[in-house]
Structure 1
Amino acid sequence: MHLQIKQANIGYDKTLISNANAFLNLGDVCLLIGNNGVGKTTLIKSILHQNPLLDGEISINNKNVKNLSVKEIAENIAIVFSKAVIPQNYTVEDLISLGKYIYYPFYFELKKEDREEVSNIIEELDLVEYKNTPLKNLSDGNLQKAFIGRALTQNSPIIILDEPTTHLDEKNKIIILKTLRKLAKEQNKLILFSSHDWRLAKEFADKIWYIKNQELFSGIVEDVLLDHNELTNASLFQVNENFVAPSIISPEIQKEMLYSLLQKNFQKDLSLFQFKYNNTFWEISYKNEMHKCESFEEIINLISKLY
């Protein structure tokens, strides 16, 4: 195992994660998930030894991180935080080239092979048209991709990303995650990234680290998801205290849409209604009568008429 957490208590003045045990190997892609404030970023900072453990041990390649120098940690781990300082007057190419800094003196000129690597990463991240664009002129999404590019050029065996897809649209989110998975498998990198979206795990991750109730649950994606129902059940927000939901039989996405629609429009007890989705239309049962609606607008009009 390349990254190991052993009986670690993680936190600051108080423990956020207690008696954590987990490990990852080179080639693994791991998604770190949990609600706000549970300690995801604190865990990342503990791996970097920016936040000392309250107890226990974190090791990289069998070496305790507290015994590694800052340079040794940088050689082992490339990091992208969700909030990064933007270097003034730097272009995309300048920022991505900075990933080579740890291999050169402060003032340096990239070798030919390094420049080629930077160009390849710029192309892979779909940033070619922004190559010479000042960072201050980039969208949040492209700026995030540029910081990720810097981490890739660092060529460290471990890449850790704190909320890397927060500012990205679906297209760019997929570009980033496919690139990270490709790196893990083709170049034997260990990738650890945090997110609020557990659905990313099914498509891109091998392992999950899930923080809940001061515990760190870890394992194969499918095992952890099935052990925690709250990760797979669609959440239907109760924002209207006077609303009583009807029975809804449908796929989850249609169920979420209908629930939201009814809750927004009716502060009533709708428990006598039953909705069933039948491919292209809704079957609605109310007081032994059956109705058919082909759109949500028709549903609103029907309920307003009946109730």
Structure 2
Amino acid sequence: MDVKNALLNGDLLEEVYMQPLPGSTYPPHKVCKLQRALYGLKKASQAWFAKFRSTIHDCGFTSSSYDTVLFVRKTARGTTLLLLYVDDMIITSDDVDGILLLKQFLSHHFEIKDLGPLSYFLGLEISHDSTSSFLSQAKYTSDLLARAGLTDCKIPSSPLETQSRLSPLDGSLLSNATLYCQLVGNIVYLIVTHSDIAYAVHIVSQYMSAPRTPHYNALFRILRYLKGTLFHRLHYSAHSSLQLCAFSDADWVGDPTNHRSTTGFCFFLGNSIISWRNKKQSLTAYSSTEAEHHALADTTQELLWLH
């Protein structure tokens, strides 16, 4: 679903004035008092979200305690979820009639457009068959490779060289770090569907303040690896069990600078991976056993939250 001119729906709770637009017939010493929010106004997004939240609450929805832009409604007929991102929203439910009633309710309050079944959202490509859903970022990755000039390149077998240990002092500083920072920021979003690059991205993202040639080469190795996995997708089966399963691991003294270890974990709901992370530990472990204990503690914390 898409809300047309979403920010114009916001109600201003404070007095806001603006100068008349050039070419208007207002006297030069007069100003305009805004009755509604406008695009470009600092509080326009806040006013729009407040308006939408109060409206959707009138339809029986409540805000999720885990994410303020996720709204939930539970009835005897089923559960309906609505996820909002600025003017775009995703609606899903096991109550088909409830979805239709919700669309009618929203159309009475806002000018909306029904975009049909979910297929593309914020760079994520979603496809379905009778029993499964698939999630990928092929177009996003392809555009990123074209921007980096890697449409025709050799494909490595892994996103990071074996036993690679980057440090802040290796090689020479890049004359212009802008491209490095932009590309790292882009591939961070790719972790949403590529758990296999999470550790490598965790490494290269540590050197954005002063990237050097080895860091740049490692970054481009990740991009070349992505070219070989361009059409890999996450698979979510409708017949998967609801058993939550976790895997945890840690290296020991993986960072050559401060000798910190890195925690890595992933969670499966049945056969479908739903969460993963690679993060440097906050304390220095004095043994591999201690590093593993820190990793298990972080994994248990995530497990309890997911449960």
TM-score (norm 1): 0.26
Bigger helix fraction? 1
Larger RCO of the pair (alpha carbons < 8 Å, separation 6+)? 1
